[in-house]
């Protein structure tokens, strides 16, 4: 699958909404009222400019579908994770029903960059059947695009995408990303320093493993066995980390939240989604409600440039948490310091690129403390934050972002189809 990011020149940006695609207003299928049945729930979102019809099939977690046409987008309700036959059948049925109600096929079908998602494979099936182009949209680009679409923002913008995981254009697991987004194009400006995932996906279910990974990165591998003596796999995990066995790395902010919760003893194993992050937020909220926001820790994070990327390193903060005995205080300090670190990180690139607006998306923005703290701190740096309002910050809005990126790729005159586009042609 093609993977492409385009470097931008924000000082001379093209505004994709300054020109209208040919025949957009009269395009068959442009009336979403005629496509979406009246009894169908979902969310209708006005667009800042008229676009040609595009169908987006979303991601794997919290899947949804999105159809954009004319000056309107329709975002379906969340179908669920595409990890069972029932949800996959519902996904396919909804997509086909929407297509049957359209007078003409969509001009593009959009999907996640990950080729193995059911939504990606079904997108390819539909594109083949309809003989229309297929566009793969990078996960975090879609998160930021969804926020921009909701706010009617169509100028170059910084993007702060913080979540659990999404496939990056380099084939690695992303999740703590600082982007420069301009319509159908984006450029990765920076990311969190990658942490190892001991045991791969299992580390996302067992926060103690991420805590162990943090200890290892801090040169404290020998503490893993004693700290997590109740975990039968503690010795194995310590060895895996030491020998880099089955420890893929990720820049995920979600896994940093897991590591913090594990180090503070708030959650070692999750039994439901985001349990560790929720426990961390709740502990911090209890402290702040009683004592107010603590001061951020000085020297608890590092921002360094590596290979033309601005890397945010939070290991000093995790080192502090490993010693903090008061879990609620530690959780509050984590949030205070993290917010300060993120603002400093964004401010660096805002000044460099002359862009004073940042769109914030991804599942980490379900966290009420971050949503409260970040905009006020950014405002002190004369930076405006765009946050999700009507749409979810999580993956159920991915299809909206995919559709908006795809639609803008048809507007932009620089190329007939987007550079990440795959055209599915019928066999002769």
Q: For residue 252, is it within any domain?
A: yes
Query: Which residues are 167's β-sheet partners?
Result: 173
Q: Domain of 219: which CATH number?
A: 3.30.420.40
Question: Which DSSP string corresponds to 164-225?
Answer: EEEE-TTSSEEEEEEEEEETTEEEEEEEEPPEE-TTGGGGGT-HHHHHHHHHHHTT-GGGHH
CA distance 178 to 369: 20
CA distance 427 to 147: 38
Q: For residue 9, is it within any domain?
A: no
Q: Tokens 């996640």 identify what position?
A: 112
Q: For residue 7, is it within any domain?
A: no
Q: Is 342 helix (H, G, I), strand (E, B) or coil?
A: helix
Q: For residue 181, is it within any domain?
A: no
Are 175 and 165 spatial neighbours (Cβ–Cβ below 8 Å)?
yes
For the chain, the 3-state helix, strand and coil shares in percent, each to the nearest 5, are 40, 20, 40
- Domains: count for the chain: 1
Q: For residue 285, is it within any domain?
A: yes
Per-residue pLDDT of the chain (428 residues; tens, 9 = 90+): 333 322 222 223 333 333 333 333 334 345 565 555 444 468 999 999 999 999 999 999 999 999 999 999 999 999 999 999 999 999 999 999 999 888 789 999 999 999 999 999 999 999 999 999 999 999 999 999 999 999 999 899 999 999 999 999 999 999 999 999 999 999 999 999 999 999 999 999 999 999 999 999 999 999 999 999 999 999 999 999 999 999 999 999 999 999 999 999 999 999 999 999 999 999 999 999 999 999 999 999 999 999 999 999 999 999 999 999 999 999 999 999 999 999 999 999 999 999 999 999 999 999 999 999 999 999 999 999 999 999 999 999 999 999 999 999 998 654 443 334 443 333 33
Q: For residue 105, is it within any domain?
A: no
Residue-number span of the structural domain to which 311 is assigned: 195-386
Q: For residue 122, is it within any domain?
A: no
Residue 354 neighbours by CB distance under 10 Å? 9
Q: For residue 68, is it within any domain?
A: no
């Amino acid at each position: 699958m093609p993977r492409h990011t385009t470097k931008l020149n924000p000082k001379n940006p093209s505004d994709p909404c300054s020109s209208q695609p040919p025949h957009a207003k009269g395009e068959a299928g442009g009336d979403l009222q005629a496509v979406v049945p009246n009894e169908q729930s979902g969310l209708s979102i006005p667009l800042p400019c008229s676009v040609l019809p595009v169908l987006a099939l979303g991601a794997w977690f919290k899947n949804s579908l999105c159809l954009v046409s004319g000056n309107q987008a329709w975002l379906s309700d969340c179908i669920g994770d595409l990890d069972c036959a029932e949800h996959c059948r519902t996904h396919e049925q909804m997509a086909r029903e929407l297509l049957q109600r359209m007078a003409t096929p969509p001009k593009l079908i959009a999907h996640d960059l990950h080729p193995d998602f059911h939504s990606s494979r079904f997108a390819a099936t539909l594109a083949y059947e309809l003989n229309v182009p297929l566009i793969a949209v990078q996960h975090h680009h879609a998160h930021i695009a969804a926020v921009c679409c909701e706010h009617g923002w169509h100028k170059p913008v910084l993007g702060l995408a913080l979540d659990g995981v999404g496939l990056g254009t380099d084939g690695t697991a992303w999740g703590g990303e600082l982007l420069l987004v301009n319509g159908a194009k984006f450029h990765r400006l920076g990311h969190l320093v990658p942490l190892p995932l001991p045991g791969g996906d299992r580390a996302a279910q067992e926060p103690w493993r991420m805590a162990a990974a943090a200890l290892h990165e801090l040169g404290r591998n020998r503490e893993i066995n004693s700290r997590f003596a109740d975990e039968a796999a503690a010795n194995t995990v310590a060895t895996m980390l030491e020998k880099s066995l089955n420890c893929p790395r990720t820049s995920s902010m979600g896994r940093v939240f897991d590591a913090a919760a594990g180090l503070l003893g708030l959650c070692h194993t999750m039994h439901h989604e985001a349990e560790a992050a929720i426990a961390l937020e709740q502990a911090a909220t209890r402290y702040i409600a009683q004592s107010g926001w603590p001061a951020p820790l000085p020297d608890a994070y590092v921002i360094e440039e590596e290979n033309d990327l601005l890397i945010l390193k939070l290991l000093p903060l995790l080192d502090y948490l490993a010693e903090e005995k008061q879990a609620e205080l530690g959780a509050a300090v984590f949030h205070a310091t993290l917010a300060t670190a993120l603002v400093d990180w964004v401010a660096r690139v805002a000044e460099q690129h002359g862009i004073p607006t940042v769109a914030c998306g991804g599942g980490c923005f379900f966290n009420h403390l971050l949503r409260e703290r970040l905009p006020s701190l950014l405002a002190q740096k004369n930076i405006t934050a765009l946050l999700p309002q009507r749409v979810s910050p999580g993956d159920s809005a991915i299809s909206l972002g995919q559709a908006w990126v795809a639609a803008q790729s048809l507007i932009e005159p620089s190329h007939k189809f987007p550079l990440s586009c795959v055209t599915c042609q019928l066999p002769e």
